Structure 1
Amino acid sequence: MNFRSFAAALAATVALPFASANATELEVTHWWTSGGEAAAVAELAKAFDATGNKWVDGAIAGGGGTARPIMISRITGGDPMGATQFNHGQQALELVEAGLMLDLTDVAEAEGWKEKIFPPSLLEACTVDGRIYCAPVNIHSPEWLWLSNQAFADAGVPVPTNWDEFVAAAPALEKAGKIPLALGNQPWQSNLAFGAMTVAVAGMDVWKKVNIEKDMDAAAGPEMAKVFAAAADARKLAAKSTVQDWNQATNLVITGQAGGQLMGDWAQGEFAVAGKVAGQDYTCLPGLGVNEYLSTGGDAFYFPKLNDPEKEKAQKELAALMVSKEVQVAFNLKKGSLPIRGDVDLSAANDCMKKGLKILADGNLVPTGDMVWSPDVVKQNEDLMVEFWKSDMSPEEAHKKWVENLKSGA
């Protein structure tokens, strides 16, 4: 992958063949409401407003689980927005198949997206019958362990370098009055935590057998049983974490009240807003320090059909802009995510983002669960993880139910 200079990325100009002559307002819905997320969204809005058009912010608090049903209801109910966020994968597939989303193939071809967007799976995720329906904006990987250097200093133990060391340090953290593992009560967080532990405990080969090959014997096997046992241990470590939102859990780490958090690389935005320095105030472990890899999750924007030629021009201009070099650099530096094109260089990135860039360049990538399982299976296992983390359900029972959910979509 060729990462060019940061200065060149900022200075580069991008042809926007779909620019509108007159200002057009577009409502853009998304679920980015934390401090770091709001700073990143502001970069998108600033770039769009600079074209003479107007970004009308439609932020929906509560995360994707809350926002997506509202977005889908509006689109199917005849009250579409100008653009809306979805994660990479199949979340918008039914809307596309119903003919409710704008075809962006002409934009993609004019801007050379197939040659620029990396990895190709990001564009493939929103390609239906050979037509392109979304503009990917970033790569987010949820499999990171974020550690408070201060918390471990207060506990008198070294900052862990992997998941096993983190678990071993938990008693010292508790003795020092710390919460070992920060976890919010939003449903998706417990599911993310389980997913983050899967590769770290079971290994990459098992992950691929289960999620790519749909090998149900591997899903029910002893290596996955170890993951559920580890999740039961982690459940104990998070028992005193009573916050709701993910960024509140991140704040427990930022302030040294908690030892660590299993969270995506978007947590970097919160550390940045708090003025914390990677490697000095906090430590980040991709793949929990066990298997350094990235799953190619993240976000893309879809553009509902509006039956308005001027708004359609503005929609296509915004789509092109989101993939442009300048916006990719400005947005992802604030978001903590990685760019979706390989010809920009984030020289201003912190140590954690540079770790992610190296893994991306090395090609240690896997698809996300949204890409390999249907929304129904994803939702079933999300509900299961919520029940598991908030109850005394045994790891054996949770494992059995998890396999049953996978079999329904295999």
Structure 2
Amino acid sequence: MKLRLLAAALAASVVLPFGAANAAELEVTHWWTSGGEAAAVAELAKAFDATGNKWVDGAIAGSGGTARPIMVSRITGGDPMGATQFNHGRQAEELVQSGLMRDLTDVATKEHWKDIIKPSSLLDSCTIDGKIYCAPVNIHSWQWLWLSNAAFKTAGVEVPKNWDEFVAAAPALEKAGIVPLAVGGQPWQANGAFGVLMIAIGGKDVYQKVFADKDAEAAAGPEMVKVFKAADDARRLSKGTNVQDWNQATNLVITGKAGGQIMGDWAQGEFQLAGQKAGTDYTCLPGLGVNEVISTGGDAFYFPLLKDEEKSKAQEVLASTLLNPTTQVAFNLKKGSLPVRGDVDLAAANDCMKKGLDILAKGNVVTSTDQMVSADTQKQMEDLFSEFFATPTMTPDAAQKRFVDIIAAAD
């Protein structure tokens, strides 16, 4: 069925009856505050408002690490919002187990989420004790190296095709006054970059053993020694970035002040907002051009239990709207992510999104660390790699030993 026909059918049969009968205002909290992110979230708000309800935007500046404690505090403190963004995985696990979050199983069953959400691991991450507690909205992959074509032209070298060529081109970039690799100061950025290097250099099997099996021996092994050597190279190449936020680092690539950035596909929203074209103004290398995989992390919305009956009904409408095919296309095209529905038409996708879709279709995917380790373990890794990138005197060997200890105690 063509997208417009499918969208029209769902709009007529699902969204309008909900909205017409139960109009309410819902505060929705999230951490999407960059230019590209704001443009994407506006599509969600527009779709929800079209049901007759009202999206009350509760954006929290900073990042997930800044926003999540605020969100959790509000929910546990008796001041819940109507819906809140988390990464689908284990971030809301304790809230669910405490009985503070709404069960969406009825909505999911009615709208056949198990049939349309691909890969199935996304919905599995929303499922606790057989019940579904969140609505996935996208697939975000960390596994990308974004390159400024202009920066490499200025430096007089070819745009790299893989990580080794990128490292080799660094001296020419530095000679031209260009930072080779932009890495912002937020801890999650350093941790994310390490995870990308781990899959590209260490391989999928090592990644799986370390994070899924919590195998400390694998974390201490020779393949991980290579990963920490690559992380040491990344640390050296990122010296002089001098920005904090991820989108500021992306802007260095957009303006040709940095050669590249290891960042998730949400960076595409910033390139798009700047009017840059994939393949012409910038180049994207999935898996750093070494191991072309994508991780199936991303964002989902959870719904705290509310006492207000009308708002509770509006929560159902929002959950339905987020999975509507029209909403999925409009949001993900601007966010730079991939849709969670396997039945939508993304003919308008740019070259980089098409690369991601092709990898997804081949099934060359890995599970995001958010889905395999607890929030506490994730925070420990963020602290380690933030310190590693900020402390040139910390040797790769010392960092690896600390990493092994974290994995050995991981849950």
Verify same fold: TM over 0.5.
Answer: yes
Once the two structures are overlaid, the 10-residue window that deviates more, 7-16 or 388-397, is 7-16
Runs of 4+ with deviation above 4 angstroms: 4-12
Structure 1: how far apart are the matches of 2:76 and 2:248?
33
- The equivalences for 1:37-48 within 5 A come to 37-48=37-48
| Residue equivalent to 1:208 | 208
For residue 361 of structure 1, report the CA deviation from its aligned partner: 0.9
**2:166 aligned partner, one-letter code:** F
Farther-moved stretch of structure 1 (209-218 vs 376-385): 209-218
Aligned to 2:323: 323
What is the rounded CA distance, in whole Å, between the counterparts of 1:10 and 1:319 in structure 2?
16
Q: Which residue of 1 aligns with 2:397?
A: 396
> Residue 23 of structure 1: CA displacement?
2.4
Distance 2:70 2:45 in 1: 22
How far off is 1:344 after superposition? 0.5
Show the 5 A alignment for 1:99-118: 99-118=99-118
Please give the secondary structure, in 1, of the residue aligned with 2:158: coil
Q: Distance in 1 between matches of 2:2 and 2:192?
A: 34
Does residue 136 of the first structure (1) align with residue 136 of the second (2)? yes
Between 224-233 and 270-279, the greater mean CA deviation after superposition: 224-233
The share of aligned pairs that are identical, in percent, is 69
Q: List aligned pairs for 1:129-278, cutoff 5 A.
A: 129-278=129-278
**Residue type matched to 2:256 in 1?**
G
Distance in structure 1 (CA, Å) of the matches to 2:109 and 2:237? 50
TM-score by length of 1: 0.97
Matched AA of 1:402: F
| Structure 2: 5+ residue stretches without partners | none
8 Å contact kept, 2:18–2:51 = no
Map 1:1-150; keep pairs closer than 5 Å.
5-8=2-5, 11-14=8-11, 15-16=13-14, 18-19=18-19, 21-150=21-150
Q: Distance in 1 between matches of 2:201 and 2:365?
A: 17
Indicate if the aligned counterparts of 2:215 and 2:408 stay in contact, CA closer than 8 A. no
The separation in 1 between residues aligned to 2:169 and 2:122, in whole angstroms, is 38
Normalised by the length of structure 2, the TM-score is 0.97
Deviation at 1:219, TM superposition (A): 1.1
CA shift for structure 1 position 9:
5.5
Q: Deviations over 1:127-147 (max 9, x none)?
A: 111111111000000110000
Report if aligned partners of 2:185, 2:243 keep a CA contact under 8 Å in 1.
Answer: yes
Please state if 1:382 is matched with 2:382.
yes
Matches of 1:399 and 1:258 in 2, distance apart? 28
Contact 1:6 1:348 in 2 (8 A): no
| Cα deviation, residue 209, structure 1 | 2.1
User: Gapped runs of 5+ residues in structure 1?
Assistant: none
Q: Using the TM superposition, give the Cα deviation of residue 18 of structure 1 relative to its aligned residue in structure 2, in angstroms.
A: 3.9
The 1:282–1:75 alpha-carbon spacing in structure 2 relative to 1, beyond 3 Å, is: same
Pair 20,308 (structure 1): closer, same or farther in 2 beyond 3 Å: farther
SS in 1 for 2:21: coil
Residue 214 of structure 1, CA deviation: 2.8
Opposite residue 408 of structure 2, the aligned amino acid is K
Indicate conservation of the 8 Å contact 1:173/1:259, yes or no: yes
Q: Could you tell me whether the CA contact under 8 Å between 1:265 and 1:336 is conserved in 2?
A: yes
Question: How many residues in Structure 1 have an aligned counterpart in Structure 2?
Answer: 407
Query: Helix, strand or coil for the counterpart of 1:27?
Result: strand
**Is the contact made by 2:126 and 2:133 (CA closer than 8 Å) also made in structure 1?**
yes
